[in-house]
Structure 1
Amino acid sequence: MTVILEQILRRDIGCAAYLVGSEAAGEAAVVDPRIDMVDEIVALAERDGLRIRYIVETHNHADHVSGHHQLAARTGATIAVHEDAGVAYPHLALRDGDELALGEVRLRVIHTPGHRPEHIVLAVIDTSRGDEPWAVLTGDSLFIGDVARPDLAIDGREGADALFDSLHQRLLQLPEGTLVYPGHVSGSLCGRVSNRMTGTTIGFERRFNPALTIDARPAFVEYMNESLPERPPNMARIVELNRSAEPLELRDPAPLDAEAVRRLLDQGARVLDVRSTADFGQEHIPGAIGVPLDGSQFQNRVGLVVPTDVPLVLVADDEAMARRAATMLSVIGLTTIAGYLAGGIAAWRAAGEPLDQIPSMTVQELGAALGRDGAAPQVVDVREAGEWHSGHIPNAVHIPFYRVDERAGEIDPARPVAVICGSGQRSMLAASLLKARGIEDVHNVEGGMTAWHAAGLPTTTD
């Protein structure tokens, strides 16, 4: 007899789903499927001759739209979620200790509140070998080298208190050799996880996971509420989409000519330009927000800076890129896409419409400019607080990129501005927000602080 346990990864925002079941019985369950994983999961099940009987959600996800509706429609499977989830769709309500049978495989429900009140993990048991779990699908409770953030559904201290019990009284009671497969790897905002590994064990995490080495509840609660990632404003909307009885439909964006885009802009639409940082800096539609599709953390960064209540026009290299961007934006519940500029920026230029640019400067050029009396640029460092405290340019101003729009008034528009981050992507995004706010003399610093350090230029930790 063969137990099947297959991991389906999306590295963009670090999501992991699972296909688990029995080859002998030809039955399987899918755990935490994302909306853009459905085709792949169906193909995997067909390849292995498996009938998907259950679709299990470990909780109402806040970082991505689930594919449970679409997968259920394709397979006839039953959606299962904890009884406290408060969902509006037909489902099997799970309780602590329930088991889902898939031939010789059992999925045992362990209620683990903390990240969210309804959160569960699934212990995977092969009854042909015994009643002891050999693996556990931990969802957003236990990660590799980290545990889940406690502040998304309830007060962070209350969530951390519940998570302490879930970890120490439930998960850490499993045998040390139990394999751990989390719902997230590096890239997720659901924790501080930075590890790109895809599996671990209970014993290894007990010994080396910083959060699990804290045995005192008060110290754990304090630790869990320090240095948490920023909460994107669309998280509440994603939760409601995942609770809803109505499935979100993935649609290809409509092609728009330059005249149609101009009308939309005049009516209050915004442009999201997903081309490379270099191409965006060279020329773009005035007021556009630049977030490169093929850069790191595309969805998380869009979720932090792009309004969720206004129509969006995409600017991409081509139709395929625009379609890919629309799919990735749908994953984070951003459904206000009016279309994409057909023909790209060349079509906008050919229509005689205005263009803007954000010039770049090297770290050597910035260093020289900072030494000039009376004409030195304002340096705006848009990295996270931890990066800033590890070393920054003397006299720089620290404004994380997702705060630039609201804090643009702190910058003198009469002086030149040099925006810097770690490598140059977040700084171009932030520079685009400043330009949209009417600050004209803005430069992006190529290579960011990585290049600054490599050039041996001065930093401070003051």
Structure 2
Amino acid sequence: MLIERIYDEDLAQASYFIGCQRQGEAVVVDPRRDIGVYQAMAAANGMRIVAVTETHIHADYLSGSRELAAATGAALYVSGEGGVDWQYGFTAERLYDGSTITIGNITVKALHTPGHTPEHLSFLITDGAFTDQPGYLLSGDFVFAGDLGRPDLLDEAAGGVDTRFAGAKHLFASLRDVFLSLPDHVQVHPGHGSGSACGKALGAVPSTTVGYERLYAWWGPYLAADDEQGFIDELLDGQPDAHAYFARMKKENREGPALLGSRAPLQELSAADVVRGLDANELTFVDTRPNTAVHEGTVAGALNIPAGKSTASFGSWAVDPARDLRPLVLLASDQEQAHDLWDHLVRVGIDRVAGYVTGLEGLPTSVPRTVAPEDLASLERALLLDVRAKGEHAAGHIPGSQQLSGGRVLWNLDQLPTEGTIVTYCQSGVRSSVAANALRHEGYDVVELEGSYAAWAAAN
């Protein structure tokens, strides 16, 4: 048996490729939308992808299950659990508690593990070539290394009202009745790692075991004492901010993400074509350089989505494709980098990219306004906006500032003044630049605090 973890550092998301070498067949669990990595893995191992499935209706990324099944002809499976309100809206075979997918000697058994979401499944894997006992659990957003999937996202991102309490109760029951009933040796492979907003204290290690979590996870003593209320109180306390784009992901993943099909390579655009598109308000320019370079000058009205490990995350802060239909023009070193940036963006449903340019020559540029920490007090402003997370703001902030995390700014414009200058800051300046340029793109007068909170704190 082959189990490969495909990890996206950008969204801290893990998908899994499970293959039977003897049969030459594989199943993929929780794939992302840029599916080339799975096709390449199948080719490298001489396998065919015959089944694709997912653990639940995801909120933090756009699922590639439909995309991969359409490209390979694989059977598509999704959860049929959760009741009428949590059924997928597209055609696929339904899995229920105890349902199985079989490839060669390998059995993938669905376990209904509600809590994070009502329809959530985990997958228990048995390698029949060696034993008739399960050895692996793909736990999705149920159990992480050292933590659990948060049950409050339906309230935070999907419009639910106090669903967190029922979700926490279900999670307690899933741990007691399902997870802790498994043998200690079972290896647990979760759907996320450190940095994901789907939990509050995810470990950085890629896997764990049932026995290790039973002994050392924070929730172990609550289960051992059958202290459901204590468990619920601890679980719900201090959960991180949920990004606003999660609501769009939930909706699209439930209805069925649009199929991308084969994507042609992005083409380099001329400066003249980009200028015409910008003047006609038909294009949006994306500066992918670090904020320090952007502060030296960028295209007027450009977004700042830095290239690197957080392109998808920051892209989801700066672009809402549900309301802005203008294609993006990416600043990239070459076609290869442009396509890599596009791969990251489609993971969060930002599909419309017109092409790329390799420099700013011939484009209208301006220098974003900034203010030094020592001049902040004398700057006339309508709002001082802290775009860090709630916990960071609570731990220390500039007096008089209002907190609104960067991933929620564009979706809460009603909390911002319609006139006057907004001064933004984060911890070091990266997140502030993403949020500030998104607001400038919307027509706001924005000044960024140089060096952000770290510089202000050092000066004060």
| Count of residue correspondences | 437
Is 1:384 aligned with 2:389? Answer: yes
Match of 1:20 in 2: 18
> How many angstroms apart in 2 are the aligned matches of 1:65 and 1:199?
23
| Residue pairs, 1:21-420, within 5 angstroms | 21-36=19-34, 38-84=35-81, 86-150=87-151, 151-152=153-154, 155-215=163-223, 216-226=227-237, 227-233=239-245, 235-237=247-249, 239-241=251-253, 243-244=255-256, 247-249=259-261, 251=263, 252-253=265-266, 255-265=268-278, 266-267=280-281, 269-294=283-308, 297-308=310-321, 309-310=323-324, 311-320=326-335, 321-337=337-353, 339-340=354-355, 342-348=357-363, 353=364, 355-358=365-368, 366=373, 368-369=374-375, 374=378, 380-404=385-409, 406=413, 409-410=416-417, 413=420, 419-420=424-425
Q: 1:193 to 1:346 in 2, by over 3 A?
A: farther
Conserved 8 A contact 2:240-2:391: no
* The 10-residue stretch of structure 1 (6-15 or 250-259) with the greater mean CA deviation from structure 2: 250-259
Q: Deviations over 1:9-35 (max 9, x none)?
A: 111101111122333343332111112
Q: 1:171 to 1:342 in 2, by over 3 A?
A: same
> How many angstroms apart in 1 are the aligned matches of 2:77 and 2:404?
43
> How many angstroms apart in 2 are the aligned matches of 1:18 and 1:122?
11
Conserved 8 A contact 1:288-1:436: yes
User: How big is the shift at 1:369?
Assistant: 3.2
User: How big is the shift at 1:356?
Assistant: 1.9
Conserved 8 A contact 2:60-2:249: no
TM-score normalised by the chain length of structure 2: 0.83
User: How big is the shift at 1:136?
Assistant: 0.5
Q: Deviations over 1:24-49 (max 9, x none)?
A: 3433321111122x322222223333
TM-score normalised by the chain length of structure 1: 0.83
Q: 1:239 to 1:61 in 2, by over 3 A?
A: farther
User: What code does the residue aligned with 1:330 have?
Assistant: V
User: How big is the shift at 1:126?
Assistant: 2.5
SS at match of 2:361: helix
Q: Show structure 2 runs of 5+ residues with no match.
A: none
> How many angstroms apart in 2 are the aligned matches of 1:108 and 1:141?
15
Conserved 8 A contact 2:15-2:191: yes
User: What code does the residue aligned with 2:231 have?
Assistant: F
> How many angstroms apart in 1 are the aligned matches of 2:432 and 2:261?
33
User: What code does the residue aligned with 2:375 have?
Assistant: A
Conserved 8 A contact 1:179-1:199: yes
Identity among equivalent positions (%) equals 29
Q: Show structure 1 runs of 5+ residues with no match.
A: none
> How many angstroms apart in 1 are the aligned matches of 2:418 and 2:203?
36
Conserved 8 A contact 2:425-2:449: yes
User: Please, what is the CA RMSD of the aligned residues?
Assistant: 3.1
Q: 1:400 to 1:243 in 2, by over 3 A?
A: closer
User: How big is the shift at 1:398?
Assistant: 3.3
> How many angstroms apart in 2 are the aligned matches of 1:87 and 1:421?
38
